[in-house]
Amino acid sequence: MTLTQSSFADLGTHLSDVTFCVLDLETTGGSPADCEITEIGALLFQGGEPAGTFQTLVNPGAPIPAFITILTGITQAMVIEAPPIDEALPAFLEFLGSAVIVGHNVRFDISFLNAAAERLDYPRLTNPWADTLKLAQRLCRNEIRNLKLHTLAAHFRSPTKPTHRAFDDAAATAHVFWALLERAGTIGVTHLDDLLALRSARGAPNYQKIKLTDKLPRSPGVYLFKDRLDNVIYVGKAKNLRSRVRSYFYGDERRTIHTLLRELDGLDFRVCETELEAEITELRLIAAHKPRHNRRSKPPRTQQWVKLTPERFPRLSIARVQKNDGGLYLGPFRSKRAADLVLTGIWDASPIRRCRGGAGKRRARCAFAQMGVALCPCDGELTEGEYSEVVARVRSGIEHDPTLLLEPLAGRMAAHAREQRFEEAGWLRDRYQALARAIERRRAWTALQQAGTLWAENPDGEGALIEQGRLVAAWQAGGQAPLLEPSPVVDDRAPAQTPWSVAEADEAQLVWRWLLRPGVRVIDSTGPLALPRHPVPELGRLDAA
């Protein structure tokens, strides 16, 4: 018989709409490499109701071992007139269609079917599969002495007893499967993706908490894990909230996940219109709650800027606060180490002063000036005119033409490599990359500030309303534009050269990356959205040039 099966590309299909094929094979041995199929039995179910059966002996084309005959009762005489596998397999594959395969230790059966398919030039089976052995391990292993099919069939009072004949064993497996599905429903397994994930669950002591996910929708959004004091301990984003949160219970062996689940006592979520909204909402919630398990993306306690000071002979310094004081800023950085990497990179690329004393306060030049790595006014001999050229080059390198600072770094790195001073070349590479990244982020921030309020859409019709680097509203194709909750990290001060905080910088960077995705177009804006004429060169391209 021929049935038209539905596609399972969307694994969010409810189990009541899934077509299952429960099957069992008998074979001449345990290895598909040198053994053959002797019998195929299968039952098809649609919407939980019987929809067809398949049963046939198969001529293996080889003697059946005596112990197999004793085990199954299938003799050589019984298979002499049976169809060979090259006739039986096509008929079975047509019967199977795209149904979800179900069996007891089903990978054994699938391995024999795939081996036969390959010998006959058919593609390997790609059907999703569910294993009653794996499900029983998850759902009832503590109730019975073992998980053999005949033990499970007796436990669940199957009307058909397993007999080591394919159809009887498939019928008994079907009864066990429905009983296990009923149990699985009590822990929230209602859709196909839930069922397929359940087989990998490890039986962790916190697995019962999966019931907290029952009300999660299959929508993009953000989820919040809470402890027993209702404190938010972790925030994450997902394209499918239900599938992502339930995946924490399916075999993740990381110690951090075990700790997270042990502390989990409550669950909250926010449904988002688009993936960009989910990413931004995640950042804002992390900034607002500072969850202890969001170690990587949690805003730092302190933040740093590299500052070109607004004094008579400007120098570079590390600042913890950005001010509208006439200085030039790069940042913010998550750590002083990250800021030092950029500061040292500029020092390597420019002879800007490194000493801190006032001009003419020393009788002799400082050590940096004596080594020739910096022009310093400490002995009073350096004029403002001579030094202004150095400062102008640094300013231009940050604001207009990054090659002014990056080319010297690349040249020194190449020279060290030629001299086989690879460790020093590696240091310069790290400084180059850090400086290039800092300049790129600053330019993107400046471009977003100049653009003001802009409206953009991606090729799928998902839209975003962005105001000076902050996402104000997001909507799906053809939808409305609901306003987002205001960001808890927005500073009320006037726009600055760089963001006022790391959280604000991270949000602007997410927005900028979204705008640069292929096919995203700006529909309208209150100001021009443009970058300086000179791009920030990648290290490899600069070397090639």
pLDDT of residue 487: 55
Q: Under a CB-based contact definition with an 8 Å cutoff, are residues 334 and 320 in contact?
A: no
Which phi and psi angles does 456 have, rounded to 5°?
-135, 155
pLDDT of residue 11: 55
Q: What is the 3-state secondary structure (H, E, C) of 380-403?
A: CCCCHHHHHHHHHHHHHHHHCCCH
DSSP, collapsed to helix, strand or coil, labels residue 442 as: helix
Q: Under a CB-based contact definition with an 8 Å cutoff, are residues 106 and 42 in contact?
A: no
Which strand (E) or helix (H) includes residue 41? strand 37-46
- Reading the block at residue 472, the tokens are 């104000």
From the list 470, 442, 454, the residue with the least C-alpha distance to 322 is: 442
Q: How many CB atoms lie within 10 A of CB 159?
A: 8
Which strand (E) or helix (H) includes residue 135? helix 132-139
Told to judge if 14 belongs to the known catalytic residues of this protein, a careful annotator would answer no
From the list 514, 498, 509, 343, the residue with the least C-alpha distance to 431 is: 343
Which strand (E) or helix (H) includes residue 109? helix 106-119
pLDDT per position as a tens digit, 15-54: 989 999 999 999 999 999 999 999 999 999 998 899 999 9
The pTM of the full predicted model, rounded to 2 decimals, is 0.67
Sequence-ordered list of residues with C-beta below 8 angstroms from that of 128, at least 6 positions apart, any chain: 8, 11, 100, 101, 192, 196
Residues counted in the chain: 545
From the list 317, 210, 193, the residue with the least C-alpha distance to 261 is: 210
pLDDT of residue 2: 36
pLDDT of residue 542: 47
Q: Alpha-carbon distance 282 to 389, whole Å?
A: 45
pLDDT per position as a tens digit, 311-322: 889 999 999 999
**Cα dist from 174 to 8, 39, 327, 541, whole Å:** 21, 17, 75, 62
pLDDT of residue 370: 79
What string of DSSP letters covers 196-263?
Answer: HHHTT----TTGGGGGGGTT--SSSEEEEEE-TT--EEEEEEESSHHHHHHHTTSS---HHHHHHHHH
Residue linked to tokens 């202004």: 388
pLDDT per position as a tens digit, 130-143: 999 999 988 888 78
Which strand (E) or helix (H) includes residue 69? helix 66-72
Q: Alpha-carbon distance 268 to 250, whole Å?
A: 20
Domains contained in the chain, CATH given: 15-194 (3.30.420.10), 201-271 (3.40.1440.10), 304-349+390-442 (no CATH), 444-525 (no CATH)
Sign, CA torsion 240/246/252/255: positive
Q: Alpha-carbon distance 24 to 26, whole Å?
A: 7
Q: How many CB atoms lie within 10 A of CB 386?
A: 11
Residue linked to tokens 């969010």: 12
- Reading the block at residue 45, the tokens are 């179910």
Q: What stretches in the chain show pLDDT beneath 50?
A: 1-10, 489-490, 492, 542-545
What string of DSSP letters covers 153-199?
Answer: HHHTT-SS---SSHHHHHHHHHHHHHHHHHHHHTTT--BHHHHHHHT
User: ∠ CA(120), CA(125), CA(126), 5° rounding?
Assistant: 150
Q: Which of 14, 104, 150, 164 is catalytic?
A: 164
Task: Tell me the one-letter amino acid at 76.
Answer: Q
